[in-house]
Amino acid sequence: MAALDLAPGDFGRASPDDEEGAAAAATLLTFDLAGQKLAVDVRQIREILDLQPIARVPNAASDVLGVIDVRGEAITMIDLGDRLGMHRSGLAQDARIIVLELGPANALQVAGFEADAVLSVVEVAPEAIEPVPVPTATRWRGAAVTGMTRLDGALFMIVDLEALLATETAEGF
């Protein structure tokens, strides 16, 4: 798939009008992480950035990589691969930082993670989203993997980042 030219503001929170189309196609951001094809709801994404240095935070949890500076805002960087039980062997050449906004609009929590490559933004019809077979769901946190879909001959797991990071959004990152 071709590289994307995505900038801040290309993604955003859902407006109340968007909820009417909830039964319509899901808009997903697709990316590679540790050899796995993943997809997330585009409404959970604030922006996609080039890689930048991560400042380590002493005594942080093992899945907190540190923080980055984005236009004067400190963004917590999490190890999404660790959260999903996937182990990476280093950064890929096409790696990017995906910045999230999670939680209710009046109490947004912002965090970021590294993806090996951002692939595309796609619309997927509800009937094209299949349930995750039990053996796969038990490998990851079951509530976080909401389904799977096939795109261009590849199988993508759909991850609900809000569910995966639920403890942190309640307590702050």
Q: Which residues contact 15 (CB under 8 A, 6 or more apart)?
A: none
- Among residues 9, 11, 26, which one has the least CA distance to residue 126? 26
Give the range of the structural domain holding residue 158, as residue numbers without chain letter: 27-171
- Among residues 115, 80, 85, 84, which one has the least CA distance to residue 98? 115
Q: Could you tell me if residue 15 is inside a domain? A: no
pLDDT for 15 equals 44
CB atoms near residue 28 (< 10 Å): 24
Q: Could you tell me if residue 106 is inside a domain? A: yes
Q: Could you tell me if residue 2 is inside a domain? A: no
- Among residues 144, 105, 98, 100, which one has the least CA distance to residue 18? 105
pLDDT band at 140; cut points 50, 70, 90: very low
Q: Could you tell me if residue 14 is inside a domain? A: no
- 172: alpha, beta or left? (left if phi > 0; alpha if psi -120 to 50): left
Q: DSSP readout, 136-167?
A: HHHHS-GGGEEEEEEETTEEEEEE-HHHHTHH
Q: Could you tell me if residue 72 is inside a domain? A: yes
Would you say 54 and 107 are in contact if contact means Cβ atoms under 8 Å apart?
no
Q: Which amino acid is at 26?
A: A
Q: Which residues contact 8 (CB under 8 A, 6 or more apart)?
A: 46, 47
Whole-model pTM: value is 0.79
**Higher local confidence (pLDDT), 117 or 164:** 117
pLDDT for 57 equals 93
Give the C-alpha separation, 82 to 42, whole Å: 21
Residue 147 has pLDDT above 50, yes or no: yes
Q: Could you tell me if residue 16 is inside a domain? A: no
Mean of the pLDDT values across residues 132-139? Answer: 60
The CATH number of the domain holding residue 80 is 2.40.50.180
Q: Could you tell me if residue 10 is inside a domain? A: no
pLDDT in tens, 22-77: 567 899 999 999 999 999 999 999 999 999 999 999 999 988 999 999 999 999 99
Q: Could you tell me if residue 80 is inside a domain? A: yes
Domain count, the chain: 1
